[in-house]
Structure 1
């Protein structure tokens, strides 16, 4: 069982599939619009990961024909488009697929109930602050856990001065 190379034909097959899949994905993304890959909430993130997984399976799996993989990719894009379209037109659907941003700290005060509800530790919150331009809680106007899992830190540089700063997602903290 070869570790580094199975066959030159296998390499050629993967390269050819990449070429066709890449071209098809570019066309599909251009047709569906920028919103398809926007990671505005957890639902969007899951769809983006699923799209990447589908593309990888299509390219690397010998048992998945290109057309079937692209059909799966197109179906995921269509479903993402439909859910985004429906959520713009229906508050009920919007509430079903999208969460609200959560204020975790305000003017240096940690909001412990919000931390518990969002399952964020105070240590994680302090890490976010230390890695932001605020550096310390005293320099923080607000810390918000956004709908996509990222933290936004709004600093207090001076009286009335508010500078937004967005950090990485909670999984990376």
Structure 2
């Protein structure tokens, strides 16, 4: 019974491991682009599960105690809260962590380079237009890939006839 709560290393090792893995995964997710985060496909779900499995031993270092699990979970939640707190109060930190929206189209003109760079397929872009009831690209005033991976489409204002 005592093994359930007995740590295999000092408590601070678990905090350090959880912090290092949290930062590493955040950097990797940020580098993977907005679409990877905002538009989950079945393949993205598999990737997320595999990443969780891949970093598990890096976080717990082989420790299976409840105390270790509680320390790591608490550390991860506090880190996540801390990042949210800092990004809500500091624009530079927000840009670093979340990025900035990217213009995909403006004034009826699509920017293919921006679509490629942000890994947005033409089919995904066309779907976003359809979801916003846009039949013709000429009706688009602005299309943005938001930091959460969603595409926002703003249509031109048409004069009433």
The TM-score with structure 1 as length reference comes to 0.47
* CA positional deviation for 1:144: 0.6
1:113 is aligned to: 113
Contact 1:134 1:156 in 2 (8 A): no
Contact 1:140 1:154 in 2 (8 A): yes
Question: How many Å separate the matches in 2 of 1:135 and 1:70?
Answer: 52
Matched residue of 1:115: which SS? helix
Structure 1 residues without counterparts, runs of 5 or longer: 1-40, 54-63, 160-173
Contact 1:140 1:155 in 2 (8 A): yes
2:122 is aligned to: 122
Q: Does 1:78 align with 2:96?
A: no
More relative contact order in 1 or in 2 (CA 8 Å, sep 6+)? 2
The TM-score with structure 2 as length reference comes to 0.50
* CA positional deviation for 1:67: 6.4
CA RMSD of aligned residues (A): 3.5
Question: How many Å separate the matches in 2 of 1:116 and 1:124?
Answer: 12
Question: How many Å separate the matches in 2 of 1:91 and 1:108?
Answer: 30
Matched residue of 1:105: which SS? strand
Structure 2 residues without counterparts, runs of 5 or longer: 1-32, 39-47, 53-63
* CA positional deviation for 1:131: 2.3
Question: How many Å separate the matches in 1 of 2:78 and 2:143?
Answer: 35
Q: 1:75 to 1:156 in 2, by over 3 A?
A: same
2:148 is aligned to: 148
* CA positional deviation for 1:140: 1.6
Ranges of 4+ aligned residues in structure 1 off by more than 4 Å: 64-71, 88-92
Question: How many Å separate the matches in 2 of 1:69 and 1:132?
Answer: 45
